A and B are shown apart, each in its own frame.
Chain A
Amino acid sequence: DATSGSSSDCQPCPCPASATCAVVPKTREVVCTNCPTGTTGKRCELCDDGFFGDPLGQSGPVRACRACKCSDNIDPNAVGNCNRETGECLKCIYNTDGFFCDRCKDGFYGNALAAAVGDKCKPCSCSPLGTLGSQVSCSQVTGQCECLSNVAERDCSACQPGFFNLQSGDGCERCNCNPIGSTN
């Protein structure tokens, strides 16, 4: 209040460097009006949507607001891509998941960090007949589904050689062919 006539009429803004401030007329509350890029809040103490950090160190060391770090697996057109404080990614795309969208989500396998979208996460597509407990998830890296006994292939879709009856849903049975009359 520049009109009250004391030497402390004008005080510096309680805001980070270069930010301006204003007094809310009714409440006399001081609010920063031009927080640095990526920051917001009455004292520039929060990160904007699309950024994360703890710019004033209110719950630990100071961490400047940075753009969400989600392994290029978010869409900039989305809102709420990451938690404003922790940076946890909330809107992973391309079938990725994890704190940094850095792994494939359940039911998918591959390399979430691959550069080309087509190389990222592919569906496990485990065969329901050949997979233990009809699981839909597989090894994150190889894509191997967990097969019933004597069942083969990445997606557990075929019997091992010398076995048959995948349809049973209990694994495959030995063929029991007579070695004299069989070609293999």
Chain B
Amino acid sequence: PRPDVHPLPPGTHLLYAQSGRIEHVPLEGYEMKKDAGKALLHLPEKVIIGVAYDCVEKMVYWTEITSPSISKASIDGGEPTTVIRSDLDSPEGIAIDHLGRTMFWTDSVKDHIEVASLDGSQRRVIIDSDLVNPRAIVTDPPNGNLYWADWNREAPKIETSHMDGSNRRTQAHINWSARILATADRRKVIEGLQYPFGVTSFGKNIYYTDWRRDAVVAVDRHAGKESDMYQPQKRTKIYGIAIAYAQCPAGQNYCAVN
């Protein structure tokens, strides 16, 4: 069978979902090498929402809402494999704990957050109350924490918990009209955002996808301003975004040693 994935060259890449494709843009330092942007894989019959990267096995994971599922593929080439296909309604954000070898995702119809091993086994709902429109989710593997966003129009918020769902706390209540980008400790990075969908960070930069400009926007978190923007030729909404690290960030956590 022909490989569906166009292998990525070595180095660090931005991965983002757009219109049934996962595309990549190489990063040279923190610069997006826009001319080298290409499709990693093309699944035109799918609507891919969330993207995550496992730096250990060099796999990209994604959520898909047309026939709701979670799949993975090696960035070195090969065919996609579906790891979860049952009991999903609208899986959106996905995040990986590369140390604990687990994945977390939000479902905006079931209104809950689940965890499973990277092969799809040992599924468990960890948060199932007070969620209206859960979407983005990120892991903090060295500290064993989760963060997620709920864009509930009435009361948008960012919450955090341990990776088993315990110690749940509200990190921030969001004002819809504020349009700011801030860090978890509530430090404002920039204001005047247009329509952010997905966000990821790498070193000094934060990269987010923008539904108004159909673009990937780079923000220098120290300078507090947009430093670059990449608009793919195809002008449609860009969904999830993730960094494919050349090497795993250092660190270990409780789950990794148990």
Binding site for B on A (CB under 8 A): 26-27, 31, 33-35, 37, 40-42, 46, 48-50, 75, 77-80, 84, 91
B66 at the interface (CB under 8 A from A): yes
Partner of B92, one of A34, A75, A79: A79
B157 to chain A, nearest CB (A): 15
Given that A26-B2, A40-B20, A79-B65 are known contacts, is A46 also in contact with B42, CB under 8 Å in the complex?
no
Name the A residues within 8 Å of B235 (CB-CB). 37
Within 8 Å CB of A75, what residues of B? 133, 153
- Residues of B near A26 (CB, < 8 A) are 2-3, 6
Q: Are A79 and B49 in contact (CB under 8 A)?
A: yes
Kindly report which residue of chain A lies nearest to residue B92, judged by CB atoms.
A79
- Name the distance in Å between B84's Cβ and chain A's nearest Cβ: 17
Task: Knowing A33-B233, A48-B19, say if A80 contacts B151 (CB, 8 Å).
Answer: no
Residues of B within 8 A of A (CB): 2-3, 6, 19-20, 42, 44-45, 47, 49, 65-66, 90, 92, 108-109, 133, 151, 153, 233-237, 239
Decide if B66 touches A84 in the complex (CB within 8 Å). Answer: yes
- State A26–B20 Cα separation when bound (angstroms): 20
Does A78 contact B133, Cβ atoms closer than 8 Å? yes
In the complex, the answer to whether B44 meets A79 with C-beta atoms within 8 Å is no
Contact A33 B151, CB 8 Å, known A41-B44, A78-B133, A79-B90: no
List chain B residues, Cβ under 8 A from A48: 19, 236-237
Say whether, besides A48-B236, A77-B151, A40 and B90 are in contact (CB < 8 Å): no
Smallest CB gap from B109: residue in A: A91
